[in-house]
């Protein structure tokens, strides 16, 4: 048996095509969506992520701004920047790229973002809306996971979903989304006993634990759907040989670059799963696509609602 590969790149392009049409229609009505990305410090990966997000905005015809104070910026300085963005009518979404420098109180900065502009869905008000089934902005990666499931015609209602990981960014919100779509949900984490046995009960297994190749074949029920959220860099030749023994392309990548990407799921799980997301090319592309979708949603909720009220 070989698992069906759930192509995140293809699904992300579907979402982005739909978003581009919405942007065009909103711009024609005088509501061009706008996204501001705030990045502080010299974190190289953050710089790449922000650049990709701004580039995607430009491709879709959205207004975008990149704001990069120095790495010595204080909490108060970043709070001031966010408050200014909150007041601007042309900005619908505010993205605070993490991690922030160590001297900054990250929670304070994130909670300063106006809930209606919180396109990362991290504000306590949006978390509360999600938990109680009310409309709001949902974290991008969990929203992308749901798009993968739905656009791949994978049934959720009545299925047993197991989520490994309990972060505010992925584990908790994806559990709530699955629950809201009538799955029976179990959340597991680093302190869970008999983790493999619980995971093996899952019809849908979502893994976001941050440990390369952690979920092995004996965690997975035959035919289960496996969503691998992890992105880890593997630079140990012995582990590359172990995980990718039958994958000549991955081994070649390692030989050329000295490292290769792997998810939180052992690639050999594909031999027992019914469907699986690859790493790379699975959940990752949906994160940016859903950020764009959230910015459009924020624009419609905020500006179009205000226009209706004015009438």
pLDDT tens figures, 89-145: 999 999 999 999 999 999 999 999 999 999 999 999 999 999 999 999 999 999 999
Q: Are residues 257 and 167 in the same domain?
A: yes
Structure tokens that stand for 87 in this block:
């007041």
> Is residue 54 situated within a structural domain?
yes
Question: Which tens digits make up the pLDDT trace of 150-184?
Answer: 999 999 999 999 999 999 999 999 999 999 999 99
Q: Are residues 38 and 78 in the same domain?
A: yes
> Is residue 309 situated within a structural domain?
no
> Is residue 304 situated within a structural domain?
no
> Is residue 40 situated within a structural domain?
yes
CA distance 293 to 53: 12
CA-closest candidate to residue 208, choices 236, 175, 181, 183: 175
Q: Are residues 156 and 255 in the same domain?
A: yes
CA distance 38 to 95: 6
CA distance 264 to 212: 5
SS3 at position 126: helix
pTM of the model: 0.94
β-bridge pairing 4-5 and 275-276: parallel
> Is residue 48 situated within a structural domain?
yes
The Cβ of residue 71 has, within 10 Å, a number of other Cβ atoms equal to 14
Cis peptide before 280 (omega within 30 of 0): yes
Give me the CATH number covering residue 87.
3.40.50.10860
Give me the CATH number covering residue 157.
3.40.50.720
Q: Are residues 274 and 181 in the same domain?
A: yes
pLDDT of residue 305: 62
302 Cα distance to chain centroid: 23
SS3 at position 243: helix
Q: Which of 79, 114, 149 is the last residue of a domain?
A: 114
Q: Are 165 and 208 in contact (CB under 8 A)?
A: yes
Q: Region 190-208: what's the mean pLDDT?
A: 97
CA distance 130 to 142: 11
Give percent of the chain with pLDDT exceeding 90: 90
Q: Are residues 278 and 158 in the same domain?
A: yes
List Cα–Cα distances, 16 to 36, 60, 68, 131, 287, in angstroms. 18, 8, 26, 27, 11
- Kindly tell me if the per-residue pLDDT of 226 is higher than 50: yes
User: How many separate domains does the chain show?
Assistant: 2
Q: Are residues 192 and 58 in the same domain?
A: no
Show which residues are catalytic.
53, 97, 120
Q: Are residues 50 and 169 in the same domain?
A: no
Question: Which tens digits make up the pLDDT trace of 238-286?
Answer: 999 999 988 899 999 999 999 999 999 999 999 999 999 999 999 999 9
Q: Are residues 145 and 282 in the same domain?
A: yes
CA distance 247 to 145: 26
Q: Region 78-96: what's the mean pLDDT?
A: 97
Q: Are residues 150 and 271 in the same domain?
A: yes
Helix residue ranges, H only, 200-304: 237-243, 248-257, 284-299
**What range defines the domain where residue 77 resides?**
28-114
């Amino acid at each position: 048996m070989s698992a069906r590969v759930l192509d995140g790149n293809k699904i992300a392009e579907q979402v982005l095509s739909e978003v581009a049409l919405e942007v065009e229609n909103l711009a024609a009505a005088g509501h061009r969506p706008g996204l501001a990305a705030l990045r502080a410090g010299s974190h190289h990966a953050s710089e790449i992520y922000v650049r990709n997000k701004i580039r995607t905005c430009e491709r879709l015809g959205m207004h975008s701004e990149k704001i990069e104070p120095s790495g010595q910026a204080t909490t108060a300085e970043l709070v001031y920047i966010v408050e200014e963005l909150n007041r601007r009518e042309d900005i619908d979404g505010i993205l605070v790229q993490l991690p922030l420098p160590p001297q900054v109180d990250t929670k304070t900065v994130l909670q300063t973002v106006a809930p209606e502009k919180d396109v990362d869905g991290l504000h306590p008000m949006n978390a509360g809306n999600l938990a109680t089934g009310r409309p709001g902005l949902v974290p991008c990666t969990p929203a992308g996971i749901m798009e993968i499931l739905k656009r791949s015609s994978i049934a959720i209602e009545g299925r047993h979903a197991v989520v490994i990981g309990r972060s505010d960014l992925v584990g908790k919100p994806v559990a709530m989304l699955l629950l809201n779509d009538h799955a029976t949900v179990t959340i597991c984490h680093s302190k869970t006993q008999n983790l493999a046995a619980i995971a093996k009960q899952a019809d849908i297994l979502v893994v976001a634990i941050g440990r390369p190749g952690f979920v092995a074949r004996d965690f997975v029920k035959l035919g289960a759907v496996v969503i691998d959220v992890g992105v880890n860099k593997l630079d140990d030749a012995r582990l590359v040989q172990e995980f990718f023994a039958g994958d000549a392309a991955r081994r070649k990548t390692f030989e050329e670059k000295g490292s290769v990407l792997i998810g939180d799921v052992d690639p050999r799980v594909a031999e027992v799963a019914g469907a699986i997301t690859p790493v790379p090319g699975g959940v990752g592309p949906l994160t940016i696509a859903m950020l764009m979708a959230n910015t459009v949603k924020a624009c419609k909720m905020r500006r179009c609602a205000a226009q209706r009220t004015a009438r």
